[in-house]
Amino acid sequence: MQSNADRGRQAPPAETDYVGFLAIQPPLFHKADNPLEADAWIRTIEDKFSILNCTEVDKATFAAQQLRGPAKIWWVNHKALLPAGTRLTWDEFVAAFKAHHIPTSLMRRKMTEFLALKQGTHTVLQYAQTFNQLAQYGGFHVDTDEKKQDCFRRGLNTKLQDKLALTTCDNFTKLVNKAITQEDATLAHKADKKRKASVGSSSNVPERYKLVQTGTQQAPNRPPQQGRWIARPPQQQPQWAPRLLPPQLGQRPLVPQVTRPNNYPCYNCGKLGRFACDYRMPPQQDNYKLLHQVKVPARKIRRRRSYLPRSVV
């Protein structure tokens, strides 16, 4: 009877020593440029202790042996401030470690960064990864799955928020999966719409006709004359135009000839078809007086006075 009772009892597991702790390959800790690194190291060490049978004092002692560099210097200085022979428990070690490597002011800054996190131009997957990384500083804002989903929805872009407004999910993981699926559908719709627009723009565009009036053009002060409107196609512009070459060395440039009217008398001799600039003799005053007796428009007289010598004018 006594032997059967002894068989039913299980012997308690033996306490793990430091050699057994090193067998599970615990990570080392040097310094933390980011507070997430220090917090991640504490979480990893806690996961290692969950499969071992260690006392609270041994946990602190074993974890302290994994400190290197600046972290080891901090631990030596911290122990020097304690009374001689003091052995810290795991909770006391964690509190002292976080107070030095993860200050409260930095935790508040990370919480503010988490609450202001937005998707922006990132994909849903990139946004979810950053969200999960900063959610460790969310505190009571993400202490339940419902609160975590609400924070994730508020960080999505407005288009995805509109698509997922009437969608309910059982947990946070399903919400992320639905957001990724909806994003893929939206991107596929945009790509198809862009492809159709590019195909439509490559087709031949018909010529545009413009309306012109067949009646004569009138001055703005006069009433317009009656006419009719017709559609006239746009005129095709010549693809090339002749270009005048510059004159070669020793040649005179071509000067357009100006035809002079022959129905006006000369200011010097009074004959038709002649000009005062063709004669080098002094002007005849009698002919100049006869010129005023000829009925010539005033506009033409002012234009012809440019040919008169300075002495006459």
User: Alpha-carbon distance 62 to 80, whole Å?
Assistant: 18
Tokens in use for 184? 């893929």
Work out the pLDDT band at 312, boundaries 50, 70, 90: very low
Per the model's pLDDT, the better-predicted residue between 289 and 19 turns out to be 19
Task: Please tell me whether the overall predicted TM-score, pTM, comes out greater than 0.75 for this model.
Answer: no
Work out the pLDDT band at 103, boundaries 50, 70, 90: confident
Mean pLDDT over 218-228 rounds to 58
Mean pLDDT over 132-150 rounds to 90
Domain ranges of the chain: 9-102, 107-190, 262-313
pLDDT over 60 at 84, yes or no: yes
Q: What is the CA radius of gyration of the chain?
A: 50
Q: Which of 104, 35, 27 is nearest to 67 (CA)?
A: 27
Per the model's pLDDT, the better-predicted residue between 181 and 264 turns out to be 181
Mean pLDDT over 51-76 rounds to 92
Tokens in use for 11? 């012997």
Work out the pLDDT band at 280, boundaries 50, 70, 90: low
Per the model's pLDDT, the better-predicted residue between 104 and 6 turns out to be 104
Query: Residue 198 CA to chain centroid, in angstroms?
Result: 23
Specify the pLDDT at position 257.
Answer: 59
